[in-house]
Amino acid sequence: MSEIDRHVDAYLNFLQVEKGLAAQTLEAYSRDLAGYLKFLSSQQIESIEDADTTMILKYLIHLRDQGLIARSRARHLVTLRGLYRFLVHEKILARDPSQTVDLPKTGLKLPDTLTIEDVQRLLTAPDPTRPQGQRDAAMLEMIYAAGLRVSELIGLKQLDVNLEAGYVRVWGKGSKERIVPFGQKAREKLTLFIKEGRNKLLKTEVSGYLFVARAGKPMTRQGFWKLLKRYGVKAGLTRNITPHALRHSFATHLLEGGADLRAVQIMLGHADISTTQIYTHVARKHLQAMHAKYHPRG
Protein backbone atom coordinates (compact mmCIF):
# COMPACT_ATOMS: atom_id res chain seq x y z
CA MET A 1 0.00 0.00 0.00
CA SER A 2 1.40 3.40 -1.00
CA GLU A 3 1.73 6.45 1.25
CA ILE A 4 -1.25 8.14 -0.40
CA ASP A 5 -3.35 4.98 -0.07
CA ARG A 6 -2.65 4.91 3.67
CA HIS A 7 -3.72 8.55 4.07
CA VAL A 8 -6.96 7.93 2.19
CA ASP A 9 -7.69 4.80 4.26
CA ALA A 10 -7.12 6.80 7.45
CA TYR A 11 -9.56 9.45 6.22
CA LEU A 12 -12.25 6.91 5.31
CA ASN A 13 -11.81 5.28 8.70
CA PHE A 14 -12.24 8.70 10.31
CA LEU A 15 -15.47 9.24 8.37
CA GLN A 16 -16.80 5.86 9.43
CA VAL A 17 -15.74 5.86 13.09
CA GLU A 18 -15.66 9.51 14.10
CA LYS A 19 -18.29 10.97 11.79
CA GLY A 20 -20.52 7.91 11.63
CA LEU A 21 -21.37 8.31 7.95
CA ALA A 22 -23.93 5.97 6.45
CA ALA A 23 -22.59 3.05 4.44
CA GLN A 24 -23.98 4.44 1.17
CA THR A 25 -22.40 7.86 1.74
CA LEU A 26 -19.10 6.26 2.72
CA GLU A 27 -19.18 4.17 -0.45
CA ALA A 28 -19.65 7.33 -2.55
CA TYR A 29 -16.67 9.00 -0.85
CA SER A 30 -14.59 5.88 -1.34
CA ARG A 31 -15.49 5.68 -5.03
CA ASP A 32 -14.60 9.34 -5.65
CA LEU A 33 -11.28 9.01 -3.82
CA ALA A 34 -10.44 5.82 -5.71
CA GLY A 35 -10.81 7.78 -8.94
CA TYR A 36 -8.49 10.49 -7.60
CA LEU A 37 -5.88 7.92 -6.54
CA LYS A 38 -5.98 6.31 -9.98
CA PHE A 39 -5.43 9.71 -11.57
CA LEU A 40 -2.50 10.54 -9.26
CA SER A 41 -0.93 7.19 -10.13
CA SER A 42 -1.24 8.01 -13.85
CA GLN A 43 0.61 11.26 -13.15
CA GLN A 44 3.35 9.38 -11.24
CA ILE A 45 2.49 11.20 -8.02
CA GLU A 46 3.69 9.17 -5.05
CA SER A 47 3.61 11.74 -2.23
CA ILE A 48 0.52 13.57 -1.03
CA GLU A 49 2.59 16.77 -0.82
CA ASP A 50 3.00 16.65 -4.60
CA ALA A 51 -0.76 16.46 -5.12
CA ASP A 52 -0.98 20.25 -4.98
CA THR A 53 -3.45 22.87 -6.22
CA THR A 54 -2.34 22.52 -9.82
CA MET A 55 -2.78 18.76 -9.67
CA ILE A 56 -6.31 19.17 -8.25
CA LEU A 57 -7.18 21.54 -11.08
CA LYS A 58 -5.71 19.10 -13.56
CA TYR A 59 -7.86 16.33 -12.10
CA LEU A 60 -11.00 18.45 -12.44
CA ILE A 61 -10.09 19.12 -16.07
CA HIS A 62 -9.63 15.37 -16.51
CA LEU A 63 -13.12 14.78 -15.07
CA ARG A 64 -14.55 17.38 -17.42
CA ASP A 65 -12.86 15.71 -20.38
CA GLN A 66 -14.38 12.42 -19.22
CA GLY A 67 -17.80 14.01 -19.67
CA LEU A 68 -18.71 14.75 -16.04
CA ILE A 69 -21.10 17.69 -15.65
CA ALA A 70 -20.31 20.63 -13.36
CA ARG A 71 -22.44 19.25 -10.52
CA SER A 72 -20.59 15.93 -10.54
CA ARG A 73 -17.22 17.66 -10.66
CA ALA A 74 -18.30 19.81 -7.72
CA ARG A 75 -19.09 16.66 -5.74
CA HIS A 76 -15.61 15.31 -6.43
CA LEU A 77 -14.11 18.61 -5.30
CA VAL A 78 -16.11 18.50 -2.04
CA THR A 79 -14.73 15.01 -1.42
CA LEU A 80 -11.16 16.18 -2.01
CA ARG A 81 -11.64 19.19 0.26
CA GLY A 82 -12.70 16.85 3.06
CA LEU A 83 -9.61 14.71 2.54
CA TYR A 84 -7.22 17.67 2.52
CA ARG A 85 -8.82 19.27 5.59
CA PHE A 86 -8.32 15.97 7.40
CA LEU A 87 -4.65 15.80 6.35
CA VAL A 88 -4.02 19.35 7.56
CA HIS A 89 -5.79 18.62 10.86
CA GLU A 90 -3.61 15.52 11.31
CA LYS A 91 -0.52 17.66 10.52
CA ILE A 92 0.33 15.49 7.53
CA LEU A 93 0.14 18.60 5.34
CA ALA A 94 1.01 22.17 6.28
CA ARG A 95 -1.74 23.67 4.14
CA ASP A 96 -4.87 22.74 2.23
CA PRO A 97 -4.20 22.97 -1.54
CA SER A 98 -7.90 22.56 -2.33
CA GLN A 99 -8.92 25.63 -0.35
CA THR A 100 -8.35 28.07 -3.20
CA VAL A 101 -10.04 25.92 -5.86
CA ASP A 102 -13.58 26.84 -6.78
CA LEU A 103 -15.90 25.28 -9.31
CA PRO A 104 -18.48 27.83 -10.43
CA LYS A 105 -21.04 27.03 -13.09
CA THR A 106 -18.96 28.77 -15.75
CA GLY A 107 -15.84 26.69 -15.18
CA LEU A 108 -12.69 26.44 -13.12
CA LYS A 109 -11.31 29.31 -11.11
CA LEU A 110 -7.62 29.69 -10.45
CA PRO A 111 -6.20 30.59 -7.08
CA ASP A 112 -5.71 34.35 -6.80
CA THR A 113 -2.83 35.87 -8.70
CA LEU A 114 -0.98 38.99 -7.66
CA THR A 115 -0.96 42.15 -9.73
CA ILE A 116 2.38 43.26 -11.15
CA GLU A 117 2.31 46.14 -8.66
CA ASP A 118 1.77 43.78 -5.73
CA VAL A 119 4.63 41.57 -6.89
CA GLN A 120 6.88 44.63 -7.13
CA ARG A 121 6.08 45.63 -3.54
CA LEU A 122 6.66 42.10 -2.29
CA LEU A 123 9.99 41.64 -4.08
CA THR A 124 11.38 44.90 -2.71
CA ALA A 125 10.36 44.16 0.90
CA PRO A 126 13.57 42.36 2.08
CA ASP A 127 16.47 44.42 3.46
CA PRO A 128 19.34 44.10 0.92
CA THR A 129 21.93 45.25 3.47
CA ARG A 130 21.55 42.11 5.63
CA PRO A 131 22.62 38.55 4.67
CA GLN A 132 19.14 37.15 5.41
CA GLY A 133 17.58 39.95 3.40
CA GLN A 134 19.87 39.24 0.45
CA ARG A 135 18.92 35.56 0.58
CA ASP A 136 15.21 36.28 0.93
CA ALA A 137 15.26 38.82 -1.91
CA ALA A 138 16.97 36.29 -4.19
CA MET A 139 14.49 33.55 -3.25
CA LEU A 140 11.42 35.72 -3.83
CA GLU A 141 12.82 36.94 -7.13
CA MET A 142 13.65 33.42 -8.32
CA ILE A 143 10.31 31.80 -7.48
CA TYR A 144 8.54 34.55 -9.46
CA ALA A 145 11.12 35.00 -12.23
CA ALA A 146 11.26 31.28 -13.04
CA GLY A 147 7.79 30.15 -11.91
CA LEU A 148 9.20 27.57 -9.52
CA ARG A 149 7.38 25.29 -7.13
CA VAL A 150 8.50 25.86 -3.54
CA SER A 151 10.05 22.37 -3.44
CA GLU A 152 12.05 23.23 -6.57
CA LEU A 153 13.19 26.54 -5.11
CA ILE A 154 14.53 25.17 -1.83
CA GLY A 155 16.09 22.20 -3.64
CA LEU A 156 18.25 24.34 -5.93
CA LYS A 157 21.99 23.70 -5.79
CA GLN A 158 24.50 26.43 -6.46
CA LEU A 159 25.64 24.55 -9.56
CA ASP A 160 22.09 24.67 -10.96
CA VAL A 161 22.31 28.42 -11.53
CA ASN A 162 24.13 29.90 -14.54
CA LEU A 163 24.41 33.61 -13.78
CA GLU A 164 26.29 34.46 -16.97
CA ALA A 165 23.74 32.86 -19.30
CA GLY A 166 20.76 33.73 -17.10
CA TYR A 167 19.10 30.35 -16.64
CA VAL A 168 18.44 27.84 -13.86
CA ARG A 169 18.32 24.05 -14.10
CA VAL A 170 15.28 22.77 -12.22
CA TRP A 171 14.48 19.25 -11.09
CA GLY A 172 10.69 18.96 -11.08
CA LYS A 173 8.17 16.22 -10.40
CA GLY A 174 9.34 12.74 -11.28
CA SER A 175 12.95 14.03 -11.30
CA LYS A 176 12.30 15.65 -14.67
CA GLU A 177 14.85 18.27 -15.60
CA ARG A 178 13.98 21.56 -17.26
CA ILE A 179 15.89 24.75 -18.06
CA VAL A 180 14.18 28.04 -17.20
CA PRO A 181 15.53 31.51 -18.04
CA PHE A 182 15.45 34.39 -15.58
CA GLY A 183 15.87 38.12 -16.03
CA GLN A 184 18.29 40.86 -15.04
CA LYS A 185 16.65 41.62 -11.68
CA ALA A 186 16.97 37.99 -10.58
CA ARG A 187 20.57 37.90 -11.80
CA GLU A 188 21.43 41.00 -9.76
CA LYS A 189 19.88 39.69 -6.55
CA LEU A 190 21.38 36.23 -6.98
CA THR A 191 24.83 37.71 -7.62
CA LEU A 192 24.64 39.87 -4.49
CA PHE A 193 23.52 36.93 -2.36
CA ILE A 194 26.14 34.50 -3.70
CA LYS A 195 29.00 37.01 -3.39
CA GLU A 196 28.07 38.42 0.00
CA GLY A 197 25.15 37.04 1.98
CA ARG A 198 25.59 33.31 1.39
CA ASN A 199 29.11 33.12 2.85
CA LYS A 200 28.02 35.13 5.89
CA LEU A 201 25.12 32.76 6.51
CA LEU A 202 27.31 29.69 6.04
CA LYS A 203 30.11 30.99 8.28
CA THR A 204 32.41 27.95 8.53
CA GLU A 205 29.91 25.45 7.13
CA VAL A 206 29.88 24.04 3.59
CA SER A 207 26.73 23.33 1.57
CA GLY A 208 25.88 22.51 -2.01
CA TYR A 209 22.43 24.04 -1.62
CA LEU A 210 21.98 27.54 -2.96
CA PHE A 211 19.63 28.90 -0.31
CA VAL A 212 20.86 28.10 3.18
CA ALA A 213 19.46 28.73 6.63
CA ARG A 214 21.07 28.15 10.01
CA ALA A 215 24.19 25.99 10.29
CA GLY A 216 24.40 25.67 6.52
CA LYS A 217 21.21 23.63 6.28
CA PRO A 218 18.96 24.16 3.24
CA MET A 219 15.90 26.37 3.61
CA THR A 220 12.79 24.34 4.43
CA ARG A 221 9.29 24.65 2.96
CA GLN A 222 8.00 25.88 6.30
CA GLY A 223 10.83 28.39 6.58
CA PHE A 224 10.06 29.86 3.18
CA TRP A 225 6.32 29.98 3.96
CA LYS A 226 7.06 31.99 7.12
CA LEU A 227 9.33 34.50 5.40
CA LEU A 228 6.86 34.93 2.53
CA LYS A 229 4.06 35.66 4.98
CA ARG A 230 6.26 38.15 6.84
CA TYR A 231 7.20 40.03 3.68
CA GLY A 232 3.59 40.02 2.52
CA VAL A 233 2.64 41.88 5.70
CA LYS A 234 5.62 44.22 5.33
CA ALA A 235 4.61 45.00 1.73
CA GLY A 236 1.11 45.90 2.90
CA LEU A 237 -0.60 43.05 1.04
CA THR A 238 -3.85 42.31 2.84
CA ARG A 239 -4.48 38.81 1.47
CA ASN A 240 -2.58 35.71 2.43
CA ILE A 241 0.25 35.16 -0.08
CA THR A 242 1.30 31.60 -0.90
CA PRO A 243 4.35 30.36 -2.83
CA HIS A 244 2.01 28.94 -5.46
CA ALA A 245 0.39 32.36 -5.91
CA LEU A 246 3.76 33.61 -7.21
CA ARG A 247 3.97 30.66 -9.60
CA HIS A 248 0.44 31.39 -10.83
CA SER A 249 1.36 35.07 -11.19
CA PHE A 250 4.46 34.15 -13.23
CA ALA A 251 2.34 32.19 -15.72
CA THR A 252 -0.49 34.72 -15.87
CA HIS A 253 1.80 37.73 -16.36
CA LEU A 254 3.69 35.93 -19.13
CA LEU A 255 0.48 35.12 -21.00
CA GLU A 256 -0.85 38.65 -20.51
CA GLY A 257 2.39 39.92 -22.00
CA GLY A 258 1.87 37.81 -25.11
CA ALA A 259 3.93 34.71 -24.32
CA ASP A 260 3.22 31.51 -26.23
CA LEU A 261 1.20 28.97 -24.25
CA ARG A 262 3.55 26.10 -25.06
CA ALA A 263 6.57 28.15 -23.96
CA VAL A 264 4.87 28.77 -20.62
CA GLN A 265 4.07 25.04 -20.41
CA ILE A 266 7.76 24.19 -20.79
CA MET A 267 8.86 26.77 -18.21
CA LEU A 268 6.29 25.56 -15.68
CA GLY A 269 7.27 21.93 -16.24
CA HIS A 270 3.74 20.79 -17.13
CA ALA A 271 3.66 17.46 -18.92
CA ASP A 272 0.20 18.20 -20.32
CA ILE A 273 -0.70 21.54 -21.89
CA SER A 274 -4.25 21.21 -20.54
CA THR A 275 -2.79 22.04 -17.13
CA THR A 276 -1.32 25.26 -18.48
CA GLN A 277 -4.60 26.16 -20.18
CA ILE A 278 -6.16 26.88 -16.78
CA TYR A 279 -4.32 30.22 -16.93
CA THR A 280 -5.67 31.31 -20.29
CA HIS A 281 -8.99 32.68 -19.01
CA VAL A 282 -7.05 35.25 -16.98
CA ALA A 283 -5.06 36.32 -20.01
CA ARG A 284 -8.23 36.36 -22.10
CA LYS A 285 -9.80 38.92 -19.77
CA HIS A 286 -6.70 41.08 -20.16
CA LEU A 287 -6.87 40.85 -23.95
CA GLN A 288 -10.56 41.71 -23.95
CA ALA A 289 -9.88 44.77 -21.81
CA MET A 290 -7.07 45.88 -24.13
CA HIS A 291 -9.30 45.38 -27.18
CA ALA A 292 -12.14 47.38 -25.62
CA LYS A 293 -9.75 50.19 -24.70
CA TYR A 294 -7.70 50.53 -27.87
CA HIS A 295 -9.64 49.06 -30.80
CA PRO A 296 -11.59 51.70 -32.78
CA ARG A 297 -14.63 49.44 -32.72
CA GLY A 298 -14.04 48.14 -29.20
CATH 1.10.150 in the chain, residue ranges: 3-89
Does the active-site annotation cover 270?
Answer: yes
Q: How many CA atoms lie within 13 A of 280 on its CB side?
A: 11
**Residue 228: CB atoms within 10 Å:** 23
- Active site residue: 36, 84, 144, 279, which one? 279
Does the active-site annotation cover 62?
Answer: no
Q: What is the pLDDT of residues 44-67, one digit of tens each?
A: 988 888 888 888 988 988 888 898
Does the active-site annotation cover 247?
Answer: yes
Query: What 3-state class would DSSP assign to 130?
Result: coil
* Options 1.10.443.10, 1.20.120.80, 3.40.50.300, 3.40.50.2300; CATH of 116-289: 1.10.443.10
Which residue did the predictor score with more confidence, 9 or 251? 9
Q: Which of 69-78, 164-173, 227-236, 267-276 has the highest mean pLDDT?
A: 227-236
Q: Which CATH code fits 3-89?
A: 1.10.150
Query: What 3-state class would DSSP assign to 109?
Result: strand
C-alpha distances out from residue 53 to 132, 248, 258, 290, Å: 29, 10, 25, 29
- Active site residue: 135, 189, 244, 253, which one? 244
Q: Give the separation between CA 197 and CA 213, rounded to whole angstroms.
A: 11
Does the active-site annotation cover 279?
Answer: yes
- Active site residue: 7, 73, 95, 149, which one? 149
* Angle made by CA atoms 6, 7, 8, in degrees to the nearest 5: 90
Does the active-site annotation cover 295?
Answer: no
For position 71, what pLDDT does the model report? Answer: 77
For position 111, what pLDDT does the model report? Answer: 55
Does the active-site annotation cover 253?
Answer: no
Tell me, yes or no, if the pTM score tops 0.85.
Answer: no
- Active site residue: 173, 189, 198, 248, which one? 173
For position 255, what pLDDT does the model report? Answer: 79
**What's the average model confidence in pLDDT over 215-222?**
87
CATH 1.10.443.10 in the chain, residue ranges: 116-289
**What's the average model confidence in pLDDT over 245-271?**
81
Which residue did the predictor score with more confidence, 69 or 90? 90
Terminal Cα distance for the chain, rounded? 58
Pick from 122, 113, 119: nearest CA to 231: 122
Q: Are 96 and 84 in contact (CB under 8 A)?
A: yes
**What's the average model confidence in pLDDT over 254-275?**
75
Query: What 3-state class would DSSP assign to 82?
Result: helix
